């Protein structure tokens, strides 16, 4: 049996290593992981509530009336929640399971094998990282991640062996749903259906897979998998493994709503880019991740990103009626990301644009 590592080496460990070292032994984590006080845990409003559900088969196969009523439902969900459950999307539960298992297989490789993909730059097309907070503080979170660009070039870890085939199929099949949702969201804002696609030059953009790994944690109540944040993205579609831990929570009307992510549905999470295009009519959803002392949670998100030099700005048609006294700033995707990190993710996307 190996002896428990010293505190300094714990700080260089991945979350997975730390979980292995602590869960069966000493249950004390390095102080930088403790981000919640018992009093805060007690007093936070956490509730179970049903979030909107959208049947997207009706975008494809419904008659005109059904299609327009689904577009209104998508609009309402984006306005009131910034998230919804996507059902009847046509992707098999088998492919979803294989995708989650492929990420699980990667996270369970040895630390040496995973280190090949260690993040050097946040724009690396494939990168693995752990616990750190990109917002720049000395706080750490209970999560390992692997981010992989799957389009226009398919990157993949060489192990597990089936990662390549599964991620290629998954990227191809989800792309259709992503495109349908992009068109529906544009229409729901009263814009041409191709507006978002064209204004963000998505034909030159990329498609990204994000795998998150949250192993059991001995002090689960006091740590966070991910702190409250909105995604600097257009939107993501999320799935998770079969776990007893419903770790994801979204902020709605000042309460944290626990998300029960049941396969084969996807969870749609609206990101900052659409908040900006919609001139704040739609809000990117603030969400956070809690962890469990017993089970491992794996989540996989897929999203598309515009080229980093594309300008993020409200759609001109939505600007006229906004009533805002100032012209919003025109920031490129790259500048927006830098500003978001500079402000430690504390401001909404529209606040950053209007600053
Ligand atoms: O693990 C989750 O459910 C959410 C992950 C997440 O919020 C992210 O990767 O930005
Ligand atoms: Fe997120």
Average confidence score pLDDT of the chain: 90
State the ligand closest to the CA atom of 143: 1
> 210: CA distance to ligand 2 center in Å?
10
Q: Give residue 291's pLDDT band: very low, low, confident or very high (50, 70, 90).
A: very high
The 10s digit of each residue's pLDDT in 159-182 is 999 999 999 999 999 999 999 999
Measured from the Cα of 287, ligand 1's closest atom is: 7
Which of these ranges, 263-277, 283-297, 319-333, has the smallest mean pLDDT? Answer: 319-333
Predicted pLDDT of residue 6: 44
> 296: CA distance to ligand 1 center in Å?
14
Predicted pLDDT of residue 343: 80
Site residues for ligand 1, CB cut-off 6 Å: 210, 212, 226, 231, 238, 248, 287, 289, 299, 301
Measured from the Cα of 248, ligand 1's closest atom is: 3
> 24: CA distance to ligand 2 center in Å?
30
Tokens 């500048």, located at residue: 335
Percentage of the residues of the chain whose pLDDT score is greater than 70: 91
Predicted pLDDT of residue 1: 35
To the nearest 5 percent, what fractions of the chain are helix, strand and coil? 35, 20, 45
Compute the distance between CA of residue 211 and CA of residue 194 in angstroms, rounded to an integer: 29
> 200: CA distance to ligand 1 center in Å?
23
> 237: CA distance to ligand 2 center in Å?
10
Which of these ranges, 54-63, 284-293, 336-345, has the smallest mean pLDDT? Answer: 336-345
Q: Can you say whether the dihedral through the CA atoms of 178, 184, 189, 195 is positive or negative?
A: positive
The 10s digit of each residue's pLDDT in 148-157 is 999 999 999 9
Measured from the Cα of 259, ligand 1's closest atom is: 3
Q: What is the DSSP string of 198-214?
A: HHTTGGG-EEEEEEEEE
- Residue 231 Cα distances to 102, 174, 227, 349, angstroms: 23, 19, 12, 10
For the chain, list the domains and their CATH numbers.
31-353 (2.60.120.330)
The 10s digit of each residue's pLDDT in 113-149 is 999 999 888 789 999 998 766 666 678 899 999 999 9
């Amino acid at each position: 049996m190996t002896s428990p590592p010293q505190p300094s080496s714990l700080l260089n460990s991945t979350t997975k290593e730390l979980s292995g070292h602590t869960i069966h032994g000493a249950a004390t984590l390095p102080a930088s992981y403790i981000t919640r006080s018992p009093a805060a845990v007690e007093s936070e409003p956490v509730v179970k509530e049903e979030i909107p559900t959208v049947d997207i088969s009706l975008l494809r196969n419904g008659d005109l009336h059904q299609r327009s009523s689904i577009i209104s439902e998508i609009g309402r969900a984006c306005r009131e929640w910034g998230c919804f459950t996507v059902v009847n999307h046509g992707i098999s539960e088998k492919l979803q399971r294989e995708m989650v298992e492929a990420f699980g297989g990667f996270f369970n490789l040895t630390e040496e094998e995973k280190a090949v993909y260690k993040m050097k730059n946040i724009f690396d097309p494939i990168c693995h990282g752990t616990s750190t907070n990109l917002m720049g503080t000395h706080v750490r979170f209970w999560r390992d991640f692997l981010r992989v660009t799957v389009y226009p070039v398919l990157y993949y870890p060489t192990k597990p062996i089936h990662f390549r085939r599964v991620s290629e199929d998954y990227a191809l099949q989800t792309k259709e749903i992503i495109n349908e949702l992009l068109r529906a969201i544009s229409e729901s804002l009263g814009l041409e259906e191709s507006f978002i696609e064209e204004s963000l030059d998505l034909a030159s953009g990329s498609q990204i897979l994000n795998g998150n790994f949250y192993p059991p944690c001995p002090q689960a109540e006091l740590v966070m998998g991910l702190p409250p944040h909105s995604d600097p993205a257009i939107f993501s579609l999320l799935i998770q493994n079969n776990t007893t831990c419903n770790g994801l929570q979204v902020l709605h009307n000042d309460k944290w709503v626990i998300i029960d992510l049941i396969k084969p549905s996807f969870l749609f999470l609206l990101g900052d880019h659409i908040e900006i295009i919609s001139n704040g009519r739609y809000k990117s959803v603030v969400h956070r991740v809690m962890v469990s002392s017993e089970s491992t949670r794996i989540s996989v998100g897929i999203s598309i990103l515009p080229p980093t030099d594309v300008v993020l700005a409200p759609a001109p048609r939505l600007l006229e009626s906004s009533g805002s006294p100032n012209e919003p700033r025109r920031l490129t995707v790259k500048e927006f990301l830098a500003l978001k990190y500079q402000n430690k993710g504390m401001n909404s996307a529209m606040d950053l644009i209007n600053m």
